[in-house]
Amino acid sequence: MKHKFTKIILLTAVVAGFTAACNPASETIPTGKRYEFNNILDIAYTPDTLTRCRGWFTDAGSWMGFTLPQKEVWVNGFCGPFSLDMNRRQWMAQSAVTVGYANQTNAVFTPDSTCYFPGELYLSASSEEGKIIQRLNFLDASTALLRIHSDAGKELSFTASQWGKEIQVRTDQNTVIARHPSGEIVALTFTPDVSVESSDNNYRAKTNGSEHDTYVAISFYTGEKELSAGLQKAQLALSNPQEELKANKERWEGYLNKILRKDMKPEYDRIAVKAVVTLISNWRTHRGGLLHEGIVPSHAVYYFVGFWAWDTWRFSAALAKFDPELAKDNIRAMFDYQQPDGMIIDCIYTDPAENNARDSKPPLVSWAVDEIFTHTNDTAFISEMYPQLMAYYKWWYSKRDHNHNGMCEYGSTDGTLEAAAWESGMDNAIRFDDTKMLKNSGAEDAWSMDQESVDLNAYLALECKLLKKFAGILGVTFDGPDYGNQVADYFFDKEKGFFFDRRLKDGSFIQEPGCEAYTPLWTEVATADQVKAMLPLLTDTAKFSTYIPFPTVAADNPKYNPRGYWRGPIWLDQTYFAIRGLRNYGYNKMADEYTLQVFDRLQGLKEGAPIHENYGTHTGELLKAPHFSWSSSHLLMLYDDYGK
């Protein structure tokens, strides 16, 4: 039976429509780039169960999240915090801090406006006594600062709305400590002028004066050791809140100024900003088995709260432009688990028992490192990573080249096709329908598919090119395999005019036209004549030039499934590879047209809908996980490339 929160239903009429509506015309909005992007995402949700929700406001690597209250189920405070760890997901409170007037204990507040700005939540509500405005910003991974403003000149009162199940609450001077048996702790630190007292496993607090602005630090810790150090930091922040908020503003202004272009339409700027907000909301600091901070695929889905290899390479490439230090740590997090033979494992979690070492993921990491170098010129990072990158690159040829011809296969450490398909990143792709597994010689943990994959070898060709570049920067000799100049001709079917995987047994092509053929264009291993030969298929509206362009498989394939994960829908990384690939060969106008189709046709992209894992090829409908970092990364790349 689900643990329920009691719903608090407003007894006042609520205007139907977008629940996160903001009305800046009636409020004084601070200056700053972030305030040009109100309601960047619709995350309005007043929790009525212990675990349910589909997206939070979270920032600075924090493991806690908040939502805006729904106007029709109002509580006069931000909802949360919610614990975001994969194995501990729960609402710690419906709202840990609700605000009212001390002389109006049973007042009903009517919402005026709510907003999600990049890096900030905002709400205002009114009662007969006056209007209260609240803003929430993260100061660091542990603490968010709540600002309360009232023009009424009256004392304010605070209490929590419904703590989560099993939470025990006590007060200590002007601090509230709420402990869960899991060890997670919520701490509320009030300023010295606020009196705080315990009340029936809850608290009541009151300002002792009529100051217009009040601050509360809302902190989240994983144990007593963190609590002890964290409370001192929270108290210090409250001693100079404006300085802390200035740092938050500067960080977000930095993000936005680095990614926004002066020559793009406002609606496309909004897409880029939403992508940044999504990436930063999926940032998690080091915890448990995650030894460095990084980006998770989606904080909104429990099984995606970990780090994946090729996801990480994409995120780091996108982050390089606006937060290269986070991009570096994101890469380091995966290499913390590099195996003695050089393998990078599939995914890692706070609980290492959940890690998957049955397979790796496609090798794009040198691309990510090169993007970081492009934006930082940091040769020290190149020097740090080069030996590890080389070990990973060589691993493919030692453990995934069955016939030792220099063309690699996807595979697994346990001999299962399931893990080998995961290694490709395209779990249920049509090209693998008839695939079998082969044991490789020389190691018990080396198994390959019985087909050589064009995308894998195109990635390896790019890795080789970049590793040679890094070797030149460092003044060392590149000593790895070099088959990059053989990839294009080996995998190109001249009769069909397309790139395909090849069967090991006879070298025949697996003629299921799919997105793996975009990779040689993106990595620039294809010849100009090969790309020209591909254009009839790529521009055919029945195959790849669909409503949203460049699906995972030709749309006229009898096996095409519009909701079939890697058997039909749009994955934006693959769409990006195709569009950037066309641009690489001079088809800039075509690339721009396809980019605008993506921007203009994906459902909710320019409004408040979250960015999703994949999309409907013929509809642009939202599919699978919301708040998805992978898609966000490639939307940023499409935005940056447009018109160039």
Q: What is the DSSP letter of 290?
A: B
Average pLDDT, the chain: 94
pLDDT score for 1: 35
Residue 6 scores a pLDDT above 90: no
Average pLDDT over residues 568-586: 99
Q: Is the pLDDT of residue 594 over 90?
A: yes
Between 229 and 60, where is the model more confident?
Answer: 60
253-292 pLDDT, tens digit each: 999 999 999 999 999 999 999 999 999 999 999 999 999 9
Q: Would the pTM count as exceeding 0.85?
A: yes
8 Å CB contact between 499 and 493: yes
Give 152's pLDDT tier (boundaries 50, 70, 90). Answer: confident
pLDDT at 511 over 90: yes
pLDDT at 127 over 70: yes
- Residue 28, pLDDT score: 62
Write the DSSP symbol of residue 509.
B
Q: What pLDDT is attached to residue 105?
A: 75
CB atoms within 10 A of CB 191: 16
**How many Cβ atoms are within 10 Å of 376's Cβ, its own excluded?**
16
Share of the chain above pLDDT 90, in %: 90
d(CA 58, CA 140): 10
pLDDT tens readout for residues 521-544: 999 999 999 999 999 999 999 999
Choose which CATH entry (2.70.98.50, 3.40.1190.20, 2.60.120.260, 3.40.50.11740) describes domain 24-233: 2.70.98.50
Evaluate if residue 21 carries a pLDDT over 90: no
**Which tokens belong to 206?**
């009151």
3-class SS of residue 178: strand
Residue 25 scores a pLDDT above 50: no
pLDDT at residue 12 greater than cutoff 80? no
Estimate to the nearest angstrom the gap between the alpha carbon of 435 and the chain centroid. Answer: 32
The rounded distance, in Å, linking the Cα atoms of 108 and 371 is 53
Q: What is residue 26's DSSP assignment?
A: G
Q: Quickly state the pLDDT bin for 243 (edges 50, 70, 90).
A: very high
C-alpha span between 305 and 198 (Å, rounded): 35
Q: Which two tokens stand for residue 550?
A: 């460049």
DSSP symbol at 428: T
Domain segments of the chain as ranges: 24-233
* pLDDT reading at 398 higher than 50: yes
Exposure of 595 in the CB half-sphere (CA atoms within 13 A): 28
pLDDT at residue 103, as a whole number: 85
Phi, psi of 171 (to 5 degrees): -120, 150
Looking at residue 2, its pLDDT comes to 39
Q: What is the CA radius of gyration of the chain?
A: 26
Per-residue pLDDT, averaged over 337-357, amounts to 98
Confidence of residue 107 (pLDDT cuts 50, 70, 90): confident
pLDDT reported for residue 52? 80
pLDDT, tens digit, 9 for 90 and up, residues 403-427: 999 999 999 999 999 999 999 999 9
Look at residue 24 and tell me whether its pLDDT is greater than 70: no
104 confidence band (pLDDT: 50, 70, 90):
confident
3-state secondary structure 571-626: CHHHHHHHHHHHHHCCCHHHHHHHHHHHHHHCCCCCCCCCCCCEECCCCCCEECCC
Burial of 541 (0-12, 13-18, 19+ CB in 10 A): exposed
